[in-house]
Amino acid sequence: MILHQIDLRGFRGDEAAWRQRLPRPVDEQDRSSAAVAEILSDVRTHGDEALRRLTARFDGVDLDRLQVPPAEALAALSRLPADWRRALEVAHERLVAYNEHEAQPAPPPFELDGVTVEHLIRPMARAGCYAPGGRARYPSTVLMCAVAARVAGVPEVVLCVPPGPDGRLDDSVLAAAAIAGVDEIYSVGGAQAIAAMAFGTESIPAVEVIVGPGNRYVAEAKRQVSGVVGVASAFAGPSEVVVIAGEDADPALVAIDLVVQAEHGPDGLAWLVTWSAAMADAVDAAVAGIVENSPRRTDLEATLGSGGYTVLVDGPGEACQVANVVAPEHLELMVDDPEALLDGISAAGAIFLGPSSPASMGDYLAGPSHVLPTNRSARFSSALRVDDFRRHIHAVRVRPEAIESLGGHVEVLATVEGLPAHADSIARRRTS
């Protein structure tokens, strides 16, 4: 059996009992905070010199330069096979369409009793995007981050990507940056890239917001610099999926979708939740077959060994409860009537409805960003959105008659709170 099995059948209605039996996520902060803090301090103190030294240490590459010339991205775009380029362009077109839809203007100004509040939206001046490297290339992540920033109106979009073994960035990643209109590209990865974008170095001016997924060190670095800069999508770390499968689901499709997320590498999770023991057995066998024949077998075995589970429950209601406890990045509802389960789901980064809606579509072309909250942060955060690159400012205009009709109440409240200057600022404006 390749997936660890947890049997929660018979615990119907006893939520406390089955919560205790579910494995708790590893506290990523405890595992990596000290190492990340050291990297952040190093970059903050030593700038580019630290970036070069850390790149040599973690990526095995000695770099003469950090910034990738813009012409290299355009050259990479011209080198791409036609079908690769068209796929990136289609993804870009769909992301622009979705983000423009999401970025519709604010409603008309609010007006009541002489007070008008206008909702102003201002884009960040400079956004930092992070795309992982090392184990795989992620041009799709470049598009997901940069398109939302561009549609939001951010004038300067920066990209950091770990260099490959030869010190270069992959053509598909550079091409995606060219398509999305990224302004600056840097061959820097890991926690040190997050530090550089947050604090600034000689080569990399600081940004106002950092977005993009990464390993647990990247995620922890973003957590630590939050407050120095804006950090979107609370904890976009190692990939996760929960598949809720009914009796009639196709075990082969369930299995491949579990493997899809495990394929991203270590520290992720891939959970099957079902009320069918036969389905559990069939999916486990199918996963084992896929893993055995995969060129990424070692990575898959490591991820499933630590984060692969089958949870047996009494029915769909309990399956939704398990999903809410896990609060996964991706949740697939492989049941006959997936919409019927939606009301029972309160925490997930993205939900995929039915057997023809795999998370892979969301990874590339569905429209919303695939930069999603992980490590249970879907309980309080959401997918990367246009709004993550914008500030919301209230512009308040108070007419003199409103000072007369409402000012007395403000004076009372300010006096109650012991703030006499607040009260006086109103009193000086009142004529009676």
* 174 and 68 Cβ atoms separated by less than 8 Å: yes
Q: Does 412 have pLDDT greater than 60?
A: yes
Q: Pick the closest to residue 290 from 246, 332, 252, 334 (CA basis).
A: 252
Domain 4-27+237-379 maps to which CATH number in 3.40.50.300, 3.40.50.620, 3.40.50.1390, 3.40.50.1980?
A: 3.40.50.1980
Q: Which residues contact 98 (CB under 8 A, 6 or more apart)?
A: 367, 368
Q: Does 271 have pLDDT greater than 80?
A: yes
Q: Which residues contact 327 (CB under 8 A, 6 or more apart)?
A: 347, 348, 373, 376, 377, 378, 379
- Of the listed 240, 329, 332, 411, which one is catalytic? 329
Strands, E, within 239-324: which ranges?
Answer: 240-245, 269-274, 308-312
For the ranges 135-149, 173-187, 262-276, the maximum mean pLDDT occurs at 173-187
Two domains, one topology: 4-27+237-379 and 47-106+123-233: yes
Q: Does 35 have pLDDT greater than 70?
A: yes
8-state DSSP, 69: P
How much is the pLDDT for 309? 94
Look up tokens 């980064």; give the residue.
349
The span from the CA of 190 to the CA of 59, in Å, is 9
The span from the CA of 66 to the CA of 73, in Å, is 14
The span from the CA of 33 to the CA of 29, in Å, is 5
How much is the pLDDT for 125? 96
How much is the pLDDT for 27? 55
Least confident segment among 34-43, 230-239, 250-259, 377-386: 230-239
Q: Does 32 have pLDDT greater than 80?
A: no
**Model pTM?**
0.86
Cα–Cα distance list, 350 to 23, 43, 232, 342, 345 (Å): 22, 34, 16, 11, 11
Q: Which residues contact 332 (CB under 8 A, 6 or more apart)?
A: 241, 242, 243, 244, 257, 351, 352, 357, 358, 359
Least confident segment among 114-128, 141-155, 186-200: 114-128
Helix 82-102 with 139-152: angle, nearest 10 deg = 40
Q: Does 234 have pLDDT greater than 60?
A: no
How many CB atoms within 10 Å of residue 348?
Answer: 23
Domain 47-106+123-233 maps to which CATH number in 3.10.180.10, 2.170.190.11, 3.40.190.10, 3.40.50.1980?
A: 3.40.50.1980
Residue with the larger pLDDT of the pair 108 and 75: 75
The span from the CA of 33 to the CA of 49, in Å, is 22
**Whether residue 329 lies in the annotated active site:** yes
What is the residue-wise DSSP string for 100-129?
HHHTPPPPPPEEETTEEEEEEEEE-SEEEE
How much is the pLDDT for 261? 83
Q: Write down the domain spans for the chain.
A: 4-27+237-379, 47-106+123-233, 399-427
Q: What is the CA radius of gyration of the chain?
A: 25
The span from the CA of 53 to the CA of 83, in Å, is 38
**Whether residue 411 lies in the annotated active site:** no
Q: Give the bridge partners for 350, in sequence order.
A: 330
What letters, b where the CB count within 10 A reaches 16 and e where it falls short, cover 14-31? eeeebeeebeebeebbee
63 by Cβ neighbours in 10 Å (0-12 / 13-18 / 19+) ranks as middle
How big is the CA angle at 79 (ends 74 and 83), to the nearest 5 degrees?
Answer: 110
- Of the listed 263, 330, 370, 411, which one is catalytic? 330
